Homo-oligomer: A and B are copies of this chain.
Amino acid sequence: MNTISLAHGNGGKMMEDLIDNLFLKYLNNDIINKKDDASPVPEIKGVPVISTDTFVVDPIFFPGGNIGKLSICGTVNDLAVTGAIPLYLTVGFILEEGLPIKHLEKIIISMAEVSREANVKIVAGDTKVVERGKGDKIFINTTGVGMIGDKLKLSDENIKLGDKVIINGSIAEHGLAILMERNQMDFSTSIKSDCCTLSDLIVTLLSETNGIKFMRDPTRGGMATVLNEIATRYNVGIEIEEEKVPLGDEIKSLCKILGLDPLYLANEGKVLIIADREKSEKIVDIMRRHPYGRNSSIIGTIVDNNDQQVYLKTRIGGKRIITKLMHDMLPRIC
């Protein structure tokens, strides 16, 4: 049998074989190997943090990753940016009848690799199969449980005027990589999704510095969406300096050609940080020493603003309001 059939999702013998010969072959550990419907896990000593995300990215394979790698990175990062150490993940698959089993295998191998890198255990799983035309190859939900300990945590201080906005590298890579792959453009590019797990970078940061007040991964809706959320939530204005925002040359040209604003394009390996002004240089120094932070940069400042505006100070000194995203730029980006 080379493709997924409905019988792989019915709770019977074929499903058991799929679990044993594929899922558990790669995603094995002391907990999931027991194949319980619900898995007891070691005690969580600290504040538990829970996050869920469903991945429907199209195409399922793209430069820099695939839906499996993305599904682990996405949830690990959602936990990590709260200051939590990611501990446990669950995975729920919806497979479309006809999915080649070798594609599923490739996806699962990626999930195994990246969850090992992030040091999280996959502790429970579920598989459903839908008829051809009722799904789209594969959808994956990952739900994560992490822990905020006593030692590693965000600063208790409120965000205040003068605080700095920091990012760990070039934006828009994931969104653009998906777009290029989906539309099979006539020209080739070297753009790859930035998809990676940020937990190691973040744990390093929290253990070696202080003064980090807020972190968020700017995924769907891009940096513009996260900045607007911050402005609204903390009732502040944010000024971003256009020339400070890390942006690869190729990304820059492509966005110009395609008429896309990189600020709204998705990232899957970026963390946006708000930090105390005094500490921000040190934070960037530490980030730059990490493989996922080489191009870190201070890109803006928290400013006084009654309208909770986010704006870009352009190279030529102009000011452009960065509004909330209203219309769909790219469906199924993650």
Using a CB–CB distance below 8 Å, which chain A residues touch chain B? 5-7, 9-14, 16, 36-41, 43-44, 46-56, 58, 78-79, 81-82, 84, 88, 90-94, 123-131, 133-136, 139, 141, 143-146, 148, 216-217, 219-221, 225, 324-333
* Contact between A38 and B11, CB atoms less than 8 A apart: no
A38 cross-chain contacts in B, Cβ below 8 A: 49-51, 78-79, 81-82, 84, 144, 146
* Contact between A10 and B143, CB atoms less than 8 A apart: no
Q: How far apart are the CA atoms of A331 and B93 in the complex, in Å?
A: 15
Known contacts A50-B39, A82-B40; A324/B12 CB under 8 A: yes
Known contacts A48-B48, A54-B92, A130-B332; A12/B327 CB under 8 A: yes
* Contact between A54 and B93, CB atoms less than 8 A apart: yes
Cβ distance A159 to chain B, nearest Cβ, rounded Å: 15
A47 cross-chain contacts in B, Cβ below 8 A: 40-41, 43
Classify the secondary structure of A's interface with B: mixed
* Contact between B92 and A143, CB atoms less than 8 A apart: yes
Q: How far apart are the CA atoms of A283 and B327 in the complex, in Å?
A: 58
* Contact between A134 and B135, CB atoms less than 8 A apart: yes
Contact of A12 among B126, B148, B326 (CB under 8 A): B326
With most chain B CB atoms within 10 A of its CB, the pick from A43, A58, A84 is: A43
